[in-house]
Structures are given as C-alpha cells and as structure tokens.
Chains A and B, each alone.
Chain A
Amino acid sequence: MASEAIRARRLHPLTLIFETIRIARHLVLPALAGAISATDDGVARAAAVGFGILAIPAILAAIARYVSFRFHVTDDELILDSGVFSRRRRIIPLSRIQNVDVRQKALERICGVASLLIETAGGKTTEGVLSVLDRAEADALRTRLLASRSGVAPDYATPVETLARLSTRDLVVAGATANEIGLVAAALLSVFQAVQDSLVQRILDSIDSTALDSLPAGLALAGLVVAGAFALLLAGWLLSIAGAVIGYHGFTLERVGDELRKRYGLLARREGSVPLRRVQAIRIEESLMRRPLGLAAVRIETAGSAVAGRRRHPEAFVPLVRRDAVAPLVARVLEGFDPDGVTLLPVHPRTRRRIFARLAAVIVALTAALALLHHPGWLASLVLLVPADALARNAYANRRFAILDDYVVVRVALLGRTTWIIPRRKIQTVHVASSPFQRRHGLATLIVDTASGPRGAARIRDLPLEVARELADRLSAPMPGPAPVR
C-alpha cells in the first residue's frame, strides 16, 4: 500500500481534453467572434488564422504540462512536480492543509472526473489544484490528504448530523433577498410609475392643447432612463435568484464527528469538509431585506479560502437560515457557544453623530450640486437628513461588541446587520487605528484580524482610546491553557 502511494501519479488523461476546451474558450471563441463580426472576408480569415496559430502553442504547452506533471503523497507531504525545462517541486506538508474540496463542473460530472482544490493557510490563492482526476481517485486522495489532519478520520460509523438543508424554495428566497437589488428595483418601479402617470397626464393634457410635441423631451428621456435602469435591476435580481438556485442546489451542511461537510451545486458540484477546529470566525449576515423576514445568512470562515484569484468562496456558507435557527447552528460549530445569550456592549455614543455627519456631508454635497444646476428641488433634498438621522441612530444602536473569555463578538449595522463571532484562539493580529476625526473625541477603532480573508477582520469603531488599547493588549495576550493543537 505504502509503495503504491509513494508512486508518482499523473492526472487523468481527460485533463488534455478539458485543457483544450479551456484554451478554445479563451482563444478560438474570440477568433470566431472576430471572423463573424469582420465585414471584409480577408480580415475575417486573417483573424481566424491568427487566433488559430496562437492556439497551437497553447495546446502544445498544455500537453507538455500534462506530460511533465506528477504528484505523489508521502506519509506527511503532498508533492507536486511540474515544469518541462526547469523542474519545479512544490511540497505541501499535510499538516498545513486546511481543507480539500472536490469540485465538479458540469462537463466533468458527465465524464466522471473531478478537480481537487487544496487549501493551506496564509495563501491568498489555492495552493494546489489537481485538475482533473478520476472521481473515485479524487475522493480517495482527499480522504488520504485529510487523514493525517485530524488524527482520526471520521469513518462510516460516525453519526451524521444535518445542520442545514435548503430546498429550492429556500434558495429562491435566499437569492431574492441576497442583496438590496430587489428593493432598489421596487423603489425604481414606483418612481417609474409616478413619472409615467405624470407622463400620461401630460399626454392627455397635450391632446387637449394644440400640439402633441409640446411634451417635454427631457421628461420622456428621464422616463426611459428610469425604465432602463429598472429593467437592468430586475435582470440582476432574477440572475441573483437563478444563481442561488443553480449554484446552491441541494445545499446540505452536515457535522460528521469533528468535521463540517458541505455539498451543493446543480451544474458544478462542490463537496468539501472543514474540521471544526479550523473555523476562524462565523459571520451572521442579516441584510436589510432579510431582517424583517427573520432571515439571515451564516458564513463559517476558514483560513485560506480564496480560490485561485477569483471571487472568494467561503468554505461553509449557509445562504439562508431562519433567525431562530442561527443560534443552534452556531452552537454546533463553536462548541456550544450561544450567541443569543451574550450581552453586547455599546460603543461611544458619539458614534451616532459621526455616522450622521458622514451621511450629512454627502447630502449637503448633493444639495449644493443641485443648487448649482438650478434644480428647483435643491432645498427639498435636505429632507434626506431625516432618514439619515434614523439610519445613524440605528447604526449606533446596533454597533455593539462583547469580549468574552473565549470569544469576541462584534456587531455592525447600517442598512443590513452583520455579527462576527471570533474564537479568541483564532485572533491573528490586533490593531488600534484612529483617524484625525476620531482623535478629536478621543476615540479609536479596534481591529481584530483573523486568517479568514478580507471580511474576516472585525472592526469595533469608536471606542474610547484607552478602552481600545486595553482591549488590544488583552486580546493579543497568549491564551491561558494548553496551546492550540495544530
């Protein structure tokens, strides 16, 4: 068995086909597009041939990459060898592997192959990508890579506990409320209707009067612009719904032993597992549209969850959770921690005025701009200060934090509301930052940084400077008790 495992292996031969398809997508399609759009036949042919010539070395390079690429797993390392002329060897210690995802795009599923994405901490990109492998081989390799990680790998006897499962209906709701697009679309619709009504009125009036073309062209144009914007937003909203339904189809999050396992996707299928002790932070996201509906999304953040430079893919993102199900979910992930039982403290009351001042500056700038344009409604725009005040009050009321023995809880709100729960053992660095405006009032921002990417850093804004400094020192101090296991 051991000798078999040491033997260097190649990727699945289908890799060549997928690579060719990838190159074709990048080179041949633009060539075709160029050929079709070119009016002159000669130009079209030249474009097609040019791109074709570019594709040949790319395909040859892909073949060379395939032939020269080898990987093997020793007892404690994954070794990736590549390079045609200069050999390159990447060694990933198994103990450093954070998680391994099996990803299957639609075509890969049909062909029975899969990609393995190997993440380690600290990297902003995926450290190792094995694309593509035979599906069974991918699963076996994943098990092998993760076996050393937890010491005891969960086997079939380990009970499986479902933490979240989403139906298509849930996903429609999740997509529809994922962001504020739907709300903006609705607002625009009402504006559009108001404009249209007045437009209709104007048309009726103008029939009464002599000429139809007295209808101000500007108004018609404004109507058109609003309608266009609305159509765009509606399309975005529908895309968001479709994205959630397709992307998260059959979403299941399970706890197996000390691991979280997730599965989702209709076309591209993703499976992965996260050891509980690798969880860096939990974020509870209640968007403006979700809060009144008693809904939230929960991100279970792990280290190294950036996927090859593309949009971050949080390792365990539950796109929709009922508000009353959030606490039980958190409790299952963070050793019985009850987020609802925590008393959150407010920040300095000055924060309300600081938020209001910031919003007011924008509104006043808008008013000034309108006044300069001699817009009749310029003074009326100051009415926006009323909702701005309400927003600032809400933001202050919701900007809260708690420093507990084992956890830091930070809540931030403006339109939506986000709550971070960070295990103190996972804090990487702590920062106290202050702007000149904050210093005028003796305030500062406490930043609690974790290894889970750009959104993993929780900011407690507008604490009294002394409090921020004292908390920073406390939070950066080594935790008592046994050192965290690797």
Chain B
Amino acid sequence: MPLNAKVETSSSEPSPQGDGTLPLLDPDIRPLDRRVVAYWRLRLAAGTGVAASVGAACGWLLAGPPGAALAALAVFAIGGATASLLPRARYRAWGFAVRHDDLVVKRGVLWRTTSIVPHARIQHVDTRQGPLERRLGLAHVVVHTAGWVGGAIGIPGLTLAHAEALRDQLAALSGDDGV
C-alpha cells in the first residue's frame, strides 16, 4: 500500500533551518571553543583503535591474518571517516546562550535538540575535566535540574577559565527553587 495521503500544504513549509540556526535565540548563541573538535577527534580515534583491534581479533579467528587485516582496514575506514567529519559537524551544531531568564543549549547533528533551562530550575552546577581535556586545556560544565530529560545537561569544549566563569554565573543566577 502506498503512502496515499495527500501532501499537506496548509501548515508551515520547512523553514530554512538547515544550517541549524535558531532565529529566536541567535543573537546571543555562542559556539564552543574550537579545540573541542580536536578533543572529539582524539576520542573517536581512540575508540576506532579499540574497535579495530577487536575487529582484527575477530577477523583473525574467522579468516586468519588476511581476515584480521581486512577487518582492521574496514574499521579504520569507517572510524577515520567519522573522526574526520563528525567533530566538525558537531562543533557547528553546538551552541549555548545565557539569556536573562534561562540557559539555552543547542546540540546534535542528525537528532537536534534545543534545551531551555530556566535559571530558577538549576539545582547545582559542576565543572569537570577529564585527563584528555586537561591536556587540551578544556573543561565541561554540567547543569543539574530536578527534571528527568534535562536532569544533567553538559556543555563540553570550554576553556577551564570559561567553564569556571560560566559555572559561577549560572550558580549565581540559579534560584533556590522548590520542586
């Protein structure tokens, strides 16, 4: 059975949001630090390395050395493509803004999400820094609310100073809010 419904034209045409801009919020939206691309790329590369060795081991068991080489090559090809393309796309998709009443966080390449966290709902704010982030001079901020979907919203790719400033700013803005 074909999809036989008529094309509905009554409601809005797809707006030119392909570039991921947010008309309402755009004036203040800020990108992440550029170095986050390197951070994501290194993480993906490390993941690819692990996956390639696992794949090679499986290939070896199935078809000996040629199998191992083939499997490793395939994993490297896919992982390499991902590591070279995804971080930049992700960087372009990411953005955040501290507005008067709330924090807006925009993320996701294919599945895009824009989250609005009212300052009054923030329970506490953390800054975190993993070993790789420390090497790159980056940190991320995690904003906690009592919600479920938005229970912990992380903003990666900030310089440590910026992350701390953002944390202090958000903590100062957050209200002591009963649930």
**Interface residues, chain A, with chain B CB atoms under 8 Å away:** 95, 98, 121-122, 278, 280, 303-304, 348-350, 352-353, 356-357, 360, 382, 385-386, 389, 426, 428-436, 439-442, 447, 449-454, 456-457, 464-467, 469-470, 472-473, 476-478, 483-486
Contacts and interface: CB of A to CB of B under 8 A. Distances in A.
A303 B179 contact: yes
22 contacts: A98-B179, A121-B179, A122-B145, A122-B179, A304-B179, A426-B179, A428-B150, A429-B149, A434-B111, A434-B112, A440-B14, A441-B14, A442-B13, A450-B147, A450-B148, A451-B146, A456-B147, A465-B14, A469-B23, A469-B24, A472-B116, A486-B177
Interface in B155-179: 175-179
A122 B152 CA distance: 11
A431 B115 contact: yes
A122 B123 contact: yes
Contacts of B115: 429-431
A483 B119 CA distance: 13
Contacts of A485: 178
Contacts of B110: 435-436
Say whether chain B's binding surface is mostly helix, strand, loop, or mixed.
loop
B1 A389 contact: yes
Given A435-B110, A435-B111, A122 B116 contact: no
A431 B147 CA distance: 12
Contacts of B145: 122, 428-429, 449, 451
Interface in B1-57: 1, 3, 5, 8, 10-15, 17-18, 22-24
Contacts of B147: 428-429, 449-451, 456-457
Interface in B53-84: none
Given A429-B153, A434-B111, A469-B23, 20 more contacts: A95-B178, A280-B179, A349-B10, A357-B3, A386-B1, A426-B179, A428-B121, A428-B146, A431-B113, A431-B149, A431-B150, A433-B114, A435-B110, A449-B147, A456-B147, A464-B12, A472-B114, A485-B178, A486-B176, A486-B178
Contacts of A450: 147-148
B149 A457 contact: yes
B177 A484 contact: yes
A302 to B, nearest CB: 9
- Pick the 7 closest A-B CB pairs, nearest first: A429-B150, A428-B147, A486-B178, A442-B14, A451-B146, A121-B179, A449-B147
